[in-house]
Amino acid sequence: MAYTSKKEDESGLSSYYNNKTTIIQEARVFNDSPISPRKCRALLTRIVYLLYIGETFNAQEATTLFFGTTKLFQHKDSALRQMVYLAIKELATTAEDVIMVTSSIMKDMQPNSEVIYRPNAIRALCRIIDPSMAQGVERFFKAAIVDRTPSISSAALVSSYHLFPLAKDVVKRWVNEAQEAVSAKSSSSFFPGSSGGGYLNFGSSGNSNSGYQPIPSTSYITQYHALGLLYLIRQQDRMAVTKMIQQLGGGKSGAGTTLKNSMALCMLIRYAAKVMEEDPNVQRQILDLLEGWLRHKSDMVNFEAARAICEMKSVTASQLTKAIAVLQLFLSSPKPVLKFSATRTLATLALTHPAAVASCNVDLENLITDQNRSVATYAITTLLKTGNEASVDRLMKQITGFMSEISDEFKVIIVDAIRSLCIKFPTKHVSMLAFLSGVLRDEGGYDFKRAVVEAMFDMIKFISDCKEQALSHLCEFIEDCEFTKLSVRILHLLGLEGPKAPQPTKYIRFIYNRVVLENATVRAAAVTSLAKFGVNAVDDGLRRSIGVLLNRCLDDVDDEVRDRAAMYLKVMKEASLADTYVKEESVFSLAALESKLVAYVNDVDASAKPFDASSIPKISRAQLAAESTRPSTLDIIAAPATRASASPPPPTAAETQSAYVQQLADIPHFAAYGTILNSSAKPVQLTESETEYQVTCVKHIFRENIVFQFNVSNTLPDTVLEQVVVVMQPQADSGLTEDVVFQIDSLSCANSPGIVYVSFKRDNPREYTTTSFQCILKFISKELDPSTGRPEEEGYEDEYQLEEVELSAGGDYIIPSYASFSSEWDRLRSGATATETFSLGAMESIKAACDSIIELLNMEPLGGTETPSSPSVHTLQLSGLVTGGGGKVLVRCRMTYSRGLGVTLELGVRAEQENACALVVSVVGG
């Protein structure tokens, strides 16, 4: 584990010398009389070294070493005392009863203790003390924070930073001292004036002179530490943070700032950027400060300010001008770090503002030949985003020259930039495809090869002219591909695109070679790909040839390959099976499938019957691909990583449904209802957003019950609502009977929102009840006693009228589900059918009628029919599933539009169940 030379390792000296057991045995040197500072320092150094390289001491060993070390407090050697504190600080986390040395450490912390190891004592005390003791050492820390010696002040500030999570209330009282430490003053540093030793008295054996001679320091590092502590204390108070930024910012020019440490200024800039992101109202003032810092004498501060401006939300081109000018100056700097930081920031900015970055193109082109290949990579990436079509060929030639000299990480950035460029300039696909095919043959890891392959996939998808050539390059690549995942993906693509090619037979040789030469996973993928050629073949001769190849696969040693070959031979002989297993364009919605499977597994009564997949909605393969699309590696690498998003991403529909299932399953009464058939996709708002009581409703459909979930929020901080219920009154003859109501016992502003459940029993579970409910929120209102914070004994009954809740077909009973319309329409010919004609006189266009029908029925539009191609005649095709065993339902809406008469609609419905068909007709007719 130790970092030793080969010679030392062979001799075994180092492994013995730095062995934990040896060190513990040698710890008796701490008990020698007189103490030898030199031996003790050497042993302490070895202890700290072992901890540094990851060696661990158990509690007993650490405690023995810890208290052996504390005996060295008797010696006054400064260098030895510093090593003692370093060892104590590292062992304190493992050793036991460490609090016993507090008094010894505090002696060295005294303000009048003019010793070199006072900062070490402060750092060690931070690790030793219990949070309850923080108040007892408050006086010492306050004095140390404002000490004239920067090392002591910095040690106290950093220790306070570490103490803050444990004793927030105590550390918050040190804000005035931290503010004083931020103010600029000519601090002093220290070097000891010793009588008998070298630097820090290493090598001295006797007592050292504890005095020292401070000399001026120009680093002002104390400001950096003090600013960090100030922000930690004030971070929950945005107004206080904003005021701190304005006080320390130094005005529009930045010249009046009291901060003289560059790192402190950089930290202040980051705080300012965070405030600006959270509060857009102060954007103008903060932007003025940032532009002032662009003229600071420190390059570090200039860059931090420029980057903060570039990463602003909704930043305009005019606001970027000054920041880009500073970054442009950095591009011609002799310092590699400045060039790298500037090119990386410009590469990120070019994703959103390519026109603004284009002014730097001349300087960026000069960096293409920079000896630092990281700088050259970001320069070329930026140019690919900002350049025009005429410059593409020139850039491609320059890229080819240094691809072999950069790491895979930067190769991925280049390839993803070209991937984006292919879509931007499709006419340049020849040179780009030639480049990609060239780098595909180069050496590289999986991530690099995957980036190249996915770039070719995009070209095949979006640029039809290069499809055949790109497929040929991919065929050549899988001949010698060492990555199984890539081979499988390419074979899948060949199965999709190959049969559509003018000459599909030229790809079959490459695919069958994989059956002969590759591992079982690739062979199985190759069998599936061959089968797709056979099923989609127009030529009977090709179909027979594919059959011969699949028959050979029946003798494969792997059972998966044999099973696939046998299945696809059967599929090729029966058209109905081919339509289901090969040509089917729809797949199950994975989120819905997962939810149904979890519910099935958790339902103890469900094991007696098979899993019903007919109730799971389907989506198209295009929708599935869009959901699982991998974000571009270029976007990931180039995106700013300095700040996390202020709020977490909203939960997905599947996560929301799972949360509802769990909530209802936790209530025994609802657990008996069985599986949830459907829940509302979005809560319905039943109150205005400005009212004192906020109520939303979610509907849960069960086979025999309907549960209404009311999320109630109380926005009044001085009022408590008790016995909160929602009274629901359905329309007459609704077919629903109230079952149970679960109220909220107490609802305050602090514990909002609370949930009220109202359950109704369906009189006839086979019918799809559609009705509306009058809703009233009822509660007892009680004022809070300001002195005790408790509600008063007496309250008064009150009620609040809510919006009506609608139980409708679309969204409550009908779920969108993808289908292949023509084949499914023909399949349902023998099922339930209905045709009705309606006059939609209020519709001003066919597009408006399409949007209205889709929203009303909550069904999936197919084949792009949601967008009419003609303003006068159109056919809208919809597909969905009806919950509760209603099965699949298809709708064909033939529409004509004439000015003055509006839209005339012929509604054709085909469904697996008669009641599902009637439900759709009633929705449109109602």
Q: Which residue has the higher pLDDT, 270 or 398?
A: 270
Q: Count CB-CB contacts under 10 A for residue 124.
A: 28
Closest by Cα among 285, 301, 297 to 252: 285
If you write DSSP's letter for every residue of 879-921 in order, what string do you get? EEEETTTTEEEEEEEEEEEETTTEEEEEEEEEESSHHHHHHHH
State the Cα–Cα distance between residues 419 and 425, nearest whole angstrom.
Answer: 10
**3-state SS string for 521-534:** HHHHHHHHHHHHHH
Q: pLDDT digit string (tens) for 365-416?
A: 888 888 888 888 888 888 888 877 777 777 777 777 777 777 888 888 888 8
If you write DSSP's letter for every residue of 205-235 in order, what string do you get? -SPPP--B--EE----HHHHHHHHHHHHHHT
Q: Which pairs from 505-514 meet CB under 8 Å and 24+ separation? A: 505/542, 506/472, 507/471, 507/475, 507/533, 508/533, 508/545, 508/546, 508/549, 510/475, 510/476, 510/478, 510/479, 512/549, 513/479, 514/478, 514/487
pLDDT at 200 over 80: no
From residue 131, give the alpha-carbon distance in Å to each of 100, 610, 639: 15, 59, 40
Q: pLDDT digit string (tens) for 664-718?
A: 877 888 878 877 787 877 888 888 877 888 888 888 888 888 899 888 888 887 7
pLDDT at position 730 is 86
State the Cα–Cα distance between residues 850 and 597, nearest whole angstrom.
Answer: 34
Q: pLDDT digit string (tens) for 486-515?
A: 999 999 999 988 888 888 888 999 999 988
State the Cα–Cα distance between residues 64 and 500, nearest whole angstrom.
Answer: 77
Query: Do residues 127 and 85 lie in contact, with contact meaning Cβ atoms separated by under 8 Å?
Result: no
Instruction: Tell me the percentage of the chain whose pLDDT exceeds 90.
Output: 12
Reading the block at residue 43, the tokens are 């042993």
pLDDT at 735 over 60: yes
Helix H or strand E encompassing 495: helix 484-497
Alpha carbons within 13 angstroms on the beta-carbon side of residue 505 total: 8
Would you say the pTM of this structure is higher than 0.75? no
pLDDT at 756 over 60: yes
State the Cα–Cα distance between residues 105 and 655, nearest whole angstrom.
Answer: 53
Residues counted in the chain: 926
State the Cα–Cα distance between residues 479 and 342, nearest whole angstrom.
Answer: 42
State the Cα–Cα distance between residues 266 and 262, nearest whole angstrom.
Answer: 6
State the Cα–Cα distance between residues 320 and 843, nearest whole angstrom.
Answer: 46
SS3 assignment, position 836: strand
- Report the Cα 615 to chain-centroid distance in Å: 32
SS3 assignment, position 634: helix
If you write DSSP's letter for every residue of 837-859 in order, what string do you get? EEEETT-SSHHHHHHHHHHHHT-
pLDDT at 143 over 80: yes
Query: Do residues 132 and 169 lie in contact, with contact meaning Cβ atoms separated by under 8 Å?
Result: no
644 pLDDT band, cuts 50/70/90, is: very low
Alpha carbons within 13 angstroms on the beta-carbon side of residue 294 total: 25
State the Cα–Cα distance between residues 496 and 533, nearest whole angstrom.
Answer: 9
State the Cα–Cα distance between residues 889 and 887, nearest whole angstrom.
Answer: 7
638 pLDDT band, cuts 50/70/90, is: very low
Tokens 């691909």 appear where?
Answer: 625
From residue 563, give the alpha-carbon distance in Å to each of 114, 495, 512, 576: 84, 18, 17, 19
Instruction: Calculate the CA dihedral of residues 135, 139, 141, 145 and round it to 10 degrees.
Output: 140
Cβ-proximal residues to 4 (8 Å cutoff; 6+ apart), any chain: 14, 15
Closest by Cα among 710, 613, 718, 733 to 663: 710
**3-state SS string for 755-817:** EEEEEEEECCCCCCCCEEEEEEEEEEEEEECCCCCCECCCCEEEEEECCCEEECCECCCEEEC
pLDDT at 303 over 90: yes
From residue 246, give the alpha-carbon distance in Å to each of 221, 234, 745: 21, 14, 47
pLDDT at 623 over 70: no
pLDDT at position 1 is 40
Average pLDDT over residues 630-643: 41
pLDDT at position 14 is 53
